[in-house]
Amino acid sequence: MGDVLAFVLFFAAAVATFFSASRLTMFGDAVKEKTRVSSGFMGIIIGIAISLPELTSSVTSVVIDAPDLAVGNLIGSNLFNVAGLAIFDLVYRRHQIMTHATAESKLYGWLVIFITLIILLGVSITLPTHIFHISYSTIAVILMYFIGTKWINDRTEYKGRKIKREIKQYKEYSFKQVVTYFALAAAAIMVIGSVLTVTAERIAEITGLGTSFVGSFLVAISTSLPDMVSVGTAMKLRRFNLGVSSLLGSNAFNLVILAITDLIYLRGGLLGEATKSSNLITGGASVVFIFLIIYSISRRKTQPSFSYMLPSILIVAGYFVTTYFVFSMR
């Protein structure tokens, strides 16, 4: 792939991402309207759909035997997602969007924290025994994700039934149409994500950046573009809880993708093969950022402007500080 072509394809894919991800969120909102599911649950479904580029990227990394790229991509993607949510929070500060998020979103935030801590434990400590080639941390991640999501959905399911139906905005579409369009948008995002990943890796070669930095930031940012567009579309629609829950759902599913990647990495434990220092810094920062998001969700609704924005300001500043440290370690 030529140097100029790599840059052209990357930016073309980024533009295509804007259209596909915005359609995904719009038709996800339409599916919610035509069913009895809650905003939080639909946000998780959208979160899984917009995580498809990360799945493609991680599988590709395993195929080319680049475990550090696979781990760095998913942990870095989570870090970028939370920083992006903080930026949207600052842009829509008048609406204080975090206070519109439900307890369901907060619970998913805690789930992301616990799973991330398991991942960081797997990166820092290589256990001597495994089941076949699979690490115990991978098994723990998969179990915690499915048990946690089921518990959260069972706990909040009744609320979805009690919510009064809002004014219908998608009368011109049938249920079959909105589901079809949602699935097509998800498929398009996966294809576009593959283009973003390949071109981002080529750009990394051209610029001479290190693998850890590329995985944690360049590839992570490129595969996270659908997340940002999806959340931005939800914010424009004033579906604040949908935006917050879809991003947290995407972060949780990203960590499951990391576990799935370990399952298909036959050369040993994926987490043990990854660079410890840079991934520990990135993962630790993402845990702190999620704590700040949960704090913002938990506060009372009437906050002075600066007091409300402070957690998001700290997240954005922390993201650039983390980027600098990982870049300096490349």
Concatenate the DSSP letters of all residues of 45-113 into one string: HHHHHTTHHHHHHHHHHHHTT-HHHHHHHHHHHHHHHHHHHHHHHHHTGGG-GGGG--HHHHHHHHHHH
User: For the stretch 228-263, what's the b/e string if a residue is b when 16 or more beta carbons lie within 10 angstroms of its beta carbon?
Assistant: bbbbbbbbeeebbbbbbbbbbbbbbbbbbbbbbbbb
Q: What is the pLDDT of residues 213-256, one digit of tens each?
A: 655 566 667 667 777 777 887 888 888 877 888 788 888 888 88
Tell me the C-alpha distance between 183 and 49, whole Å.
9
> What is the predicted pLDDT for the residue at 292?
94
Give the residue carrying structure tokens 């990357």: 10
Which of 73-87, 229-243, 284-298 holds the top average pLDDT?
A: 284-298
Helices 240-264 and 67-91 cross at an angle (nearest 10°) of: 180
Encoding tokens for residue 211? 């693998």
| Confidence category of residue 26, pLDDT binned at 50, 70, 90 | confident
Question: Between vectors from CA 116 to CA 111 and to CA 122, what angle results, nearest 5°?
Answer: 135
Task: Tell me the pTM.
Answer: 0.75
Which of 67, 11, 4 is CA-nearest to residue 270?
67
Domains plus CATH for the chain? 3-166+173-328 (1.20.1420.30)
Give CA 61 to chain center in angstroms. 18
Averaged pLDDT of the chain = 77
3-class SS of residue 131:
strand
CA distances, 317 to each of 87, 95, 323 (Å): 11, 22, 10
Contact 61, 73 (CB under 8 A): yes
- Of the candidate ranges 88-92, 99-103, 123-127, 282-286, the one whose mean pLDDT is the lowest: 123-127
Tell me the C-alpha distance between 312 and 113, whole Å.
17
Average pLDDT over every residue of 182-205: 76
Which of 175, 221, 202, 217 is CA-nearest to residue 17?
221
Length of the chain as a residue count:
330
> What is the predicted pLDDT for the residue at 115?
93
Percent of the chain with pLDDT over 70: 75
Comparison of pLDDT for 32 and 296, the residue scoring more: 296
> What φ, ψ does residue 43 adopt, rounded to 5°?
-60, -35
Which of 148, 151, 156 is CA-nearest to residue 115?
148
Percent of the chain with pLDDT over 90: 11
Q: What is the pLDDT of residues 126-176, one digit of tens each?
A: 665 566 677 788 888 889 988 988 887 777 654 544 444 455 667 777 878
